[in-house]
Amino acid sequence: MSVKVYSMPRGGIAFDDPFAPREFETAFLPVFSVIPLIQHTGTKAYPIVFIGEYVKEGMLIGRGQGVGSANVHATVPGKVVRMASWKTIDGEANEALVVRLEGSFEKLGKPEMPHPWEDLPPSEIQRIIAEYGIVEMDDGGRPLADLLSELSPVSDTITLVVRCVFDDPWLAADITLCNSRLKDVVEGAFIAARACKASRIIYVSSKNENKLAARLIAEASQHPLAQKVSTDLVIVGNKYPQRNRRELELALRTYEKNEKDDLGRFFIAGPATIVAVFDAVKFRKPILDRYVAVGGSAVKEPKVLKVRIGTRLRDVFDQCGGLTDAPERIVIGSPLMGRAVLDIDEPIVKNSYAVSALKKEQVGGTVERSCIDCGECRSVCPVGLDPEELFKRCKTEGILAACGCYGCGCCETVCPSRIPLKTIIYESQANRRTV
């Protein structure tokens, strides 16, 4: 039986990267952990431990301060030896508690006591999610408690969308997570559905991972809660950036229309976020580690690693055999949409799903030539923009009015003249937004 595939209506690219990792390696523990007080979108968490104090694994060390901020926990036991501070490439300041590993682990390698959650009301599940500092693990790092509270006054139908869309090889860590913790993804989805008061769950999967999707659905159908919360599967295309919220919603609205099925509002979460919800609610455990795809042309042995939050990038690259050359750019997140970092001692944070060290040849737009008017950039833009034209305007006008570019990088990737289209267009637009 052929399966209907729902895809974004325009643009996109088939994106592969020979320098993205395929193999998984088990966790390692760094001697020093750098645990930032900002691992979310808002203001920094307020530190509640001091230099010289000992902390336990999983202990609250920074208290979130209002909307956008989230609690921060120690990810290893040890002594707080100093505070570190640095600036991101955008000039934003961050601070961290540096913990030297000492003493025994409270949770690692120990049997865990599950907490029954099936009778908890949504408000209590939301409180636990806030207490354990859960944020979007594969996106911008918005606190989940904020997103849930935005939904609270709404009486519409809500659908939980579990985003298993792997349109980018740098999402290898999420595939590893789904395969290794499949049952937890499924139970975590039922918990998240309770938290957001969703009446149904839709797993959205890329066509190229349909076997994984079939396993998820089979597991979900056997869960005791399957009688109360319906679970469906929607298959989407493999093109990048299908996983982006805008493109995902467009594909789901087409499904809704075809199936004549009211999906209401969407609450979208990736598998890493779902598993973080599972750990918090079922085991009262904050986010201690995460799977990270580590690679890029300057990394000797690209791998998917299970990494403690707070591990420095330097240690992560060492675990992959080290760097072959001084990289031109280090990026947290996918090379296409990620955040460049200035310092190899920056740590892995809750939403660092990938880390890459790129040689000059792998960095787009470094050897710019003249536009040959091939039109490739126009054909791949999912928003329907004319990147060539926008780029020219940026060069002459300096800044752009908001045009809808969200920096997917498709145009820059396909440009035969290696013109830094996305870099200039997205940044110019961002500047205008802040004026």
In one letter, which amino acid is 132? Answer: Y
At 242, list the tokens.
Answer: 């299908």
The verdict on 417 binding ligand SF4 (CB under 6 A) reads: yes
Stretch that binds ligand SF4, among 168-176, 303-311, 350-358, 411-419 (CB under 6 A): 411-419
The verdict on 387 binding ligand SF4 (CB under 6 A) reads: yes
The verdict on 122 binding ligand SF4 (CB under 6 A) reads: no
The verdict on 337 binding ligand SF4 (CB under 6 A) reads: no
Stretch that binds ligand SF4, among 81-89, 117-125, 180-188, 418-426 (CB under 6 A): 418-426
Range list of H helices, 260-372: 271-283, 313-319
The verdict on 286 binding ligand SF4 (CB under 6 A) reads: no
Q: What residues are paired with 159 via a beta bridge?
A: 200, 266
Phi, psi of 43, rounded to the nearest 5 degrees: -70, 165
Q: Of the candidates 407, 427, 430, 432, which one interacts with ligand SF4 according to CB under 6 A?
A: 407
Q: Of the candidates 93, 214, 372, 401, which one interacts with ligand SF4 according to CB under 6 A?
A: 372
> Are 69 and 43 in contact, with CB atoms under 8 Å apart?
yes
Cα dihedral 379→382→383→389 (10° resolution): -30
The verdict on 296 binding ligand SF4 (CB under 6 A) reads: no
The verdict on 408 binding ligand SF4 (CB under 6 A) reads: yes
At 197, list the tokens.
Answer: 């008061």
Measuring CA to CA, which residue among 165, 237, 212, 221 is closest to residue 189? 221
At 159, list the tokens.
Answer: 């659908």
Going from the C-alpha of 71 to that of each of 129, 198, 222, 268, 385, the distances in angstroms are 10, 25, 34, 22, 39
**Applying CB under 6 A, what is the total number of residues that bind ligand SF4?**
28
Phi-psi region of 333 (alpha: psi -120 to 50; beta: other; left: phi over 0): left
The verdict on 406 binding ligand SF4 (CB under 6 A) reads: yes
Q: Of the candidates 377, 394, 400, 424, which one interacts with ligand SF4 according to CB under 6 A?
A: 377
Q: Smallest gap, in angstroms, from Cβ of residue 244 to ligand SF4?
A: 9
Q: Of the candidates 261, 374, 401, 431, which one interacts with ligand SF4 according to CB under 6 A?
A: 374
Q: Of the candidates 103, 114, 121, 375, which one interacts with ligand SF4 according to CB under 6 A?
A: 375
Q: Give whichever of 250 and 383 is closer to ligand SF4, judged by the CB atom.
A: 383
What 3-state DSSP class applies to 266?
Answer: strand
Q: Which residues bind ligand SF4 (CB under 6 A)?
A: 371-377, 380-381, 383, 385, 387-388, 405-411, 415-417, 419, 421-422, 425-426
